Amino acid sequence: MGKAQGIDHAKPRKGRSSQEVQMRVEALHRRSQSTDLRHRHASIFEGFTKKRNKERLPPWVNDVLDYYRSVKDQISLDFLEGLVKSGRLWVGTDDIFYGANVQKDGKWNVLIAVNDNPDPAAALIHEINAIVRKGAHKQNLEAENDYGAFKEQQAKDKKRSKEEVGTGAFYQTVLGLNKLLLRKDPGSKEFRR
C-alpha cells in the first residue's frame, strides 16, 4: 500500500490519531486479502463496499458532486467522478476514522465511515482536498468549513425562496378574493354560497 508524502491521509475520530487511522486502513486491507477475492463483489477493504453506480450513490455523495459543480471546482469534480466510475470510493463503518485516503496499485482510494458520522459529505471533501490540493489537515478542515458555509447559504436561500413564494401565494389569494368580491353582488344568492 502506497503512502504519498506530505498528504493528510485521514480524518480521525475524536481521540484518535492519523497514525491509528493508517494502521487501521492497512489492517482492513490485509484482512480482506486473506479472504477469497475471486468473488466479484469482494472488498479490498474489509467492511467497506465500493460505490460506483451513479444512480445508487448515497445522497451526501451527490451533494458533494453538486457542490463542486456549483463552485466550479472542476478538478475536484473530475476526481470524485473518477473515484465513483472506477469503484474507488468505499463506504462502510469504522470506529477510528470518519474518512481516509490511501493509494493502492498507484491509484487513490477514499474510505468514508458513515456510522455516527455527523457529516459524511464533509469527510469526503476533506479526503478529496487532501489528495487533489495536497492539503494539510488544517487546509482540509478549511475546505470542509467552506462546504458548510455553502450549505448554510443554500439553506438560507431556500428558506427565503419559500417565504417569497408563500408571500406571493398569499397576495395572489387576496387579489383573487378581491376580484371575486368585485364581480359578485353581496346581495346575490351566488355570493352567499
| Percentage of residues in the chain having pLDDT higher than 90 | 58
**Rounded to an integer, what distance in angstroms lies between the CA atom of residue 183 and that of residue 138?**
67
Query: Which pLDDT value is given to residue 23?
Result: 93
Per residue in 143-171, pLDDT (tens digit) is 999 999 999 999 998 888 777 766 666 66
CB 34 within 8 A of CB 133: no
Query: What is the span of the domain harbouring residue 126?
Result: 10-147
* Any domain includes 52: yes
193 found inside a domain: no
In a domain, 129, yes or no: yes
In the three-class reduction of DSSP (H, G, I as helix; E, B as strand; rest coil), residue 180 is classed as helix
The total number of structural domains that make up the chain: 1
CA 181 to CA 160: how far, in whole Å? 31
**166 is a domain residue:** no
**Residue 109 within any structural domain of the chain:** yes
Assigned domain for 163 exists? no
Residues 157-170: b if buried by 16+ CB within 10 A, e if exposed: eeeeeeeeeeeeee
CA distance 72 to 76: 9
Give residue-wise pLDDT tens across range 38-87. Answer: 544 457 888 899 998 777 899 999 999 999 999 999 999 999 999 999 99
User: Is residue 142 one of the residues assigned to a domain?
Assistant: yes
Q: Between 37 and 56, whose confidence is greater?
A: 56
Identify the pLDDT of residue 189.
55
Give the global pTM.
0.77
Quick check: is 169 in a domain? no
